[in-house]
Structure 1
Amino acid sequence: MVSHLFVNAKVFTGRDETDFASAFRITDGSFSWVGDHSEVRGEQAVDLGGRTVLPGLLDVHTHPAALAALTDAVDCLPPQVVSLAQLLDRLRTHRNLGGGADQWIIGRGYDEARYPEGRSPTAHDLDQVSLTQPVIVKRCDGHTAVCNTRALELAGITSATPDPVGARFERDEQGRPNGILTELEAVRAVERLLPALGGDDLADRLAGLDERFLSRGIVGVCDLRASTLPDPLATFRAARARGLRPRCTLYLEWDPGRPPDDLSDEDRLGPVRIGGLKLFMDGAYSNRTAWVNDPYPDSCEHGIHTVSDEDARAAVDWARRNQVQVAVHAMGDQALEHVVELFGEAEPWLAGRPSIRLEHATLVSAGLIERITSARMSFGIATHTIFLYAEHDSYRANLSAEQARVAYPIRSLYHGVRPLALASDCPATAWSDADNVFVSVKAAVARRAYNGADIGQAEAITVPQALSLYTGRARHVAPLGQVGVIAPGYDGSFVVLDRDVFTVAHEDIDQVRIDQTWIEGAQVYAR
């Protein structure tokens, strides 16, 4: 039996927003006692010197597979890149520039809402990077990309090419494709040409994310598009064998034409497991493809409804049969309402966690919260503050005053929906450090954007409340095992901070750093 006692700390347990302790014991990798420093008498202990301790942090909506696949992409995210000229300069730093005609130049994370040019890049712009090599750069939301003329030629996209279902090849005034690929099926039409990586390469890249997560205190993640990898479960498990230490729960994107094989118990269990399906009900707010009741400002457009009711029901039937969740991407209020209409009165099939997760949940009125919580179906929500914080310019342009009032209503959700989490959606957000938990906590507490703009201060929450949405409350949203709480019986996973996040000024919360990360009683990271 291996036992370690830790004393003299300010311990936020994650069990409740008011629950703190000052000492704890870990025995054989699990918390065995949590209490007050004064209860300890004459035992050898690790003195934490009064520092602040949190449970290991959980990011229940992120994209490690995408991060691994984009290892070769140049980072074009704000705040480093905030103009079209800077975007082109950044793409010119790609190591493939000047290579052969089959060498792709890849970028990620542009956000044209910040650009003084006031528009998206086009194929014409990217042609200034290369006319002979294909160039593609994904937008910060992950739902849109833009490519150059050479990439369009390779993909066979011409004026006569029809738009994919639920997506668009944007066009110029003459009807010619302008390189902007709106929504996932349009992006895939070009991305399918990218050189494929082998399973070993992808496993190595995933394993290489270990320090990224641990330096941010993240001990558990949900990959909400794991099936961007050819064999996600095998690849993630290989990455774990190579040193990826956070727990990983994977969600497979639903393809009605090729549903996944049924799962075994082994697929659903362990530190790397299949947790559910991912279903897209609509698009994104920043590119006006979220499905909304009221049209976008100065427009008659209501966004895009991206999946048929038949396909959505088939996904739920598969998940019910395989005893896993369905995570539904639904940003717009009409998308959210439609999910509740389709499944609200259906019988839930999972015990102890939501059968259906609502991802993003941008526009949520008090009436919709009531419908969600009173439904027969068990719903959970994974939402964000990083979007309003980082993409304020897009949201300001795309939300009406009434919509802005109910955008990401974290306070209302906190008090209305028990299975609730904040998450990063990294790298599908317009911020290079999106999975720094303390950026999201700052935005939740201060409700101000990166530029100081008010993003709904009536919906602000406290620091303990925000942290509970990355710990004890977050664990109710997803099957990640016995993590997220400092309590007897849970994994001995915790983080030590470099300062007290509960007392620093709100504007400095994003400066808090992780000094140590521990998993199952072993220190795995030190700053």
Structure 2
Amino acid sequence: MAAQLFIGAKVFTGASEGEFATAFRIVDGLVDWVGSQEEVAGEEALDLGGRTVVPGLIDSHTHPAVIAGTAPAVECFPPAVASPDELVAVLRAHADQAQGEWILGRGFDDTKFPGARMPTATDLDRVSTDRPVLVWRCDAHSAVCNSRALEIAGITAATPDPDGARFERDPDGRPTGVLTELAAVQAVAAFIPAPTRDEQIDALVAIGDELTSRGIVAVCDLLSTRVDDPLHTFRAAADRGMRTQVALYPGWDPQHPLADLRPGDREGRIRVAGVKVVLDGAYSNRTAWVHEPYPGSCDHGLSLVPDGEVRAAAAWARRNGVQLALHAMGDRALDRVLELFGDEEPWLEGVPSVRIEHATIVSDEYLDRLRAARMSFGIATHTVFFFAEYDGYRTALRAEQVPDAYPIARLYAGLEPLALSSDRPATAWSGADDVMLSVEAAVRRRTYNGVDFGPAAAISPAQALLLYTGRARLLSPLEGVGMLRPGFEGSFVVLDRDVFTVPSDEIAGVRAAETWIRGERVYTAAR
């Protein structure tokens, strides 16, 4: 029996805001005991030198499969890219190294560009006119491509818009290269050769290494169908060394119905945990589905999936004993969730049957309705969104909505299954899965450019950490993570500074010094 005793630490157990210890023991990869080091004086132990320890972190909404499926794409996130010219420059520099015909990028945020100007095919034709170019917007719901990509996809002035999406056009009706919402993007992206399965597996292993460097030991992949045969591909990555525990949520596609799960698909460290349906778009590009039109317009955003398909996805989830995850940002989309499922009987125990992803606008009244519903609901939301994408939210939200936008304190007090998450790479910031960036945003409620955003919704560092640990574990069927208590995995992070006592404007600078998974040190920061 392999036993390891750790002493000399400030151990945040993840069980509550105020539960700390100074020592813990791991036996055969599981926590065997947690308490005071005075209780184990004289025993052989690894002294952590007074450093702060937190449970291994959970990113409850992220997209490793999207990153692996678009591995050749160059990152174009803010703050490095802040204009169409800088976007063109990054893509040009990438073109010489890009393998294959396509030149790909991801992550630009046009709301940070001068005049909030969306780049077009004319801009990307400066990168190349011979090779197709496509770059995803930061929300991953929209993109822009060059003229060659439009030609390959056969998109002309006569091409009708896809359902729930748009090919943006100039005053003469000609496509501008701007692809708004998923179906429009897919009309072009379908022509991009997919990475080979080996390339996808290697990309997932590299992503796992990056996650451990941030102290993240478990994730929920909320669009796992962006790689081939996701369950087996992720399990192959685990065989090659990826240590991250992964809950997979394939996307619902009525054109390619999901097969029912087989024995073992819902078991193990890599498992199918649910199915995802995208109900609406995003606030940062005004495609979230809203009751009142966006300021200065008559636009109510986009409803992307008919009710019948949403119910079909729910029936699949119920039949297969997994969660239904619903992307809903706008207040109209959130109301639709309750209209469709509020009176339905839950089908899962221990975790919510229905997860709401993002949940941008949550009033007291809406939270009361969630709690009163027959269905069991949980929420995965964000603080990195308003931190990074303030420019878009500033113009998309009406003034009276701001107090209800990402109201983390209200949600923390009113809904147990709750998590903060990154949504990487669909977030307008480089390194969006830096947990401490989200924690600081939750504590300070301040944007990247120093604007206070709903300060009444601020929470404490301990509360924010719980939304990546002990509270996050209540949202998803991930096993043995989120707390340092007997019976849980011996997975934890040693921090380089004490996140609970550093000045609030230095929280984002706190780093993982070491990451341990099941009693094995898998990452040590360079000194």
Q: Is the pair's TM-score, using the shorter chain for normalization, greater than 0.5?
A: yes
Q: Does the Cα contact within 8 Å between 1:447 and 1:455 map onto a contact in 2? A: yes
Once residues 398 and 265 of structure 1 are traced to their aligned partners in structure 2, the CA distance between those partners, rounded to angstroms, is: 46
Asked if 1:72 corresponds to 2:102, the answer is no
Of 264, 267, 290, which residue of structure 1 is paired with 2:265?
Answer: 267
1:475 & 1:118 partners in 2: Cα distance? 39
Aligned counterpart, 2:460: 462
Task: For 1:156-195, list aligned pairs within 5 A.
Answer: 156-195=154-193
**How far apart, CA to CA, are the structure 2 residues paired with 1:184 and 1:432?**
22
Aligned partner of 1:308 among 306, 309, 316: 306
Q: Secondary structure at the residue paired with 2:105? A: strand
| Preserved CA contact (<8 Å) 2:416 2:471 | yes
Measured after TM superposition, the shift of residue 258 of structure 1 is: 2.3
Check whether the contact 1:91–1:106 (CA below 8 A) recurs between aligned residues: yes
Matched, 1:60 2:40: no
Give 2:343's aligned residue: 345
Q: Could you say which residue in structure 2 is the equivalent of 1:41? A: 41
Residue 4 of structure 1 is matched in structure 2 by 4
Q: Is the Cα–Cα contact under 8 Å of residues 424 and 432 in structure 2 kept in the other structure?
A: yes
SS of the residue aligned with 2:116? Answer: coil
Structure 1 runs (4+) greater than 2 angstroms displaced:
95-99
The 2-side partners of 1:174 and 1:412 are apart by 48
Contact kept, 8 Å, 1:445 with 1:466, in 2: the verdict is yes
User: How far is the alpha carbon of 1:260 from its aligned partner?
Assistant: 0.8
Residues 273, 173 of structure 1: alpha-carbon distance in 2 compared, 3 angstrom cutoff: same
For residue 219 of structure 1, report the CA deviation from its aligned partner: 0.2
Q: Which amino acid aligns with 2:182?
A: L
SS of 2:183's equivalent? helix
Query: SS at the partner of 1:264?
Result: coil
> Post-superposition shift, 1:95?
3.8
Aligned CA distance change for structure 1 residues 46 and 107 (closer, same or farther; 3 Å): same
- State the secondary structure of the residue aligned to 1:252: coil
Q: CA deviation at 1:213?
A: 0.5
Q: Separation in 2 of the partners of 1:445 and 1:431?
A: 18
The answer (yes or no) to whether the contact 2:330–2:360 under 8 Å persists in 1 is: yes
Matches within 5 A, 1:53-202: 53-96=53-96, 103-202=101-200
8 Å Cα contact 2:70/2:195 also seen in 1: no
Shift of 1:404: 1.4
The residue type paired with residue 358 of structure 1 is I
1:415 alignment partner in structure 2: 413
Letter of the 1:5 partner, please give it.
Answer: L
Mapped partners of 2:208, 2:452: distance in 1: 35
C-alpha displacement of 1:494: 0.3
1:272-330 C-alpha deviation (Å, 9 max, x unpaired)? 00000000111101111101111100011111111111111111111000000010000
- Secondary structure (helix, strand or coil) at the match of 2:93 reads coil
Please say if residues 68 and 227 of structure 2, whose CA atoms lie closer than 8 Å, have aligned partners that are also in contact. Answer: no
Which residue identity lines up with residue 236 of structure 1 in the other structure?
F
TM-score, normalised by the number of residues in structure 2: 0.98
| CA shift digits 1:325-374 (9 cap, x unpaired) | 01000001110111111100100000000000000000010000011111
Q: Give the Å deviation of 1:42.
A: 1.1
Unpaired runs of 5+ residues, structure 1, are: none
Say which SS state the counterpart of residue 94 (structure 1) adopts.
helix
| C-alpha displacement of 1:505 | 0.6
Shift of residue 257, structure 1, vs aligned partner: 2.9
Which amino acid letter does the alignment assign opposite residue 464 of structure 1? Answer: A
2:383 to 382, 385, 410: 385
CA distance in 2, matches of 1:496, 1:264: 38
CA distance in 1, matches of 2:75, 2:202: 20
Counterparts of 1:483 and 1:490, CA distance in 2: 6
Q: Using the alignment, how far apart are the partners of 1:439 and 1:400 within structure 2? A: 26
Moved more, 34-43 or 216-225: 34-43
Matches of 2:421 and 2:301 in 1, distance apart?
Answer: 24
Give the residue type in structure 2 aligned to 1:58: I
Cα distance in structure 2, aligned partners of 1:268 and 1:404: 39
Matches of 2:121 and 2:255 in 1, distance apart? 32
207-216 or 458-467: bigger deviation: 207-216
Q: What is the 5 A alignment of 1:173-252?
A: 173-252=171-250
- Who is 1:404 aligned against? 402
Instruction: Name the Cα RMSD after superposition.
Output: 1.0
Q: Distance in 2 between matches of 1:98 and 1:331?
A: 34
Counterpart Cα distance in 1 of 2:47 and 2:503:
26
Distance across 2 between alignment mates of 1:142 and 1:390 = 15
Residue 358 (structure 2) aligned to one of 357, 360, 363: 360
Instruction: Output the CA distance in 1 between the equivalents of 2:103 and 2:120.
Output: 15
Mapped partners of 2:445, 2:430: distance in 1: 19
Displacement, 1:256? 2.0
**8 Å contact 2:495–2:513 — kept in the other structure?**
yes
Amino acid aligned to 2:417: P
Mapping 1:309-324, distance limit 5 Å: 309-324=307-322
Q: Distance in 2 between matches of 1:321 and 1:291?
A: 29
Contact 2:108-2:136 at 8 Å conserved across structures: yes
Matches within 5 A, 1:445-456: 445-456=443-454
Which residue of 467, 481, 484 corresponds with 2:482? 484
1:118 positional shift: 2.5
Whole-angstrom distance in 1 between the partners of 2:259 and 2:69: 24
Partner of 1:289: 287
What is the CA-CA distance between 1:230 and the residue it aligns to? 2.1
> Matches of 1:480 and 1:181 in 2, distance apart?
35
- Alpha-carbon displacement from aligned partner over 1:98-120 (angstroms, at most 9, x marks no partner): 99xx7111111110111114310
1:278/1:326 contact within 8 Å kept = yes
1:14-49 residue CA offsets vs partner (Å, 9 max, x unmatched): 011111111100011100000012211210011111
Amino acid at match of 1:346: E
Q: TM-score, normalised by structure 1?
A: 0.98
Give 2:50's aligned residue. Answer: 50
Alignment of 1:506 onto 2:508: no
Task: Answer with 388-397 or 71-80: which moved more.
Answer: 71-80
Instruction: Give the distance between the partners of 1:491 and 1:268, measured in 2 at CA.
Output: 19
Deviation of residue 210 (structure 1)? 2.1
Kept in 1: contact 2:71–2:195 (CA 8 A)? no
Q: Per-residue deviation at 1:97?
A: 7.1
Maintained 8 Å contact 1:97/1:105: no
User: Does the CA-based 8 Å contact 1:74-1:93 persist in structure 2?
Assistant: no
Larger CA deviation: 445-454 vs 110-119: 110-119
Q: One-letter code of the match for 1:165?
A: D
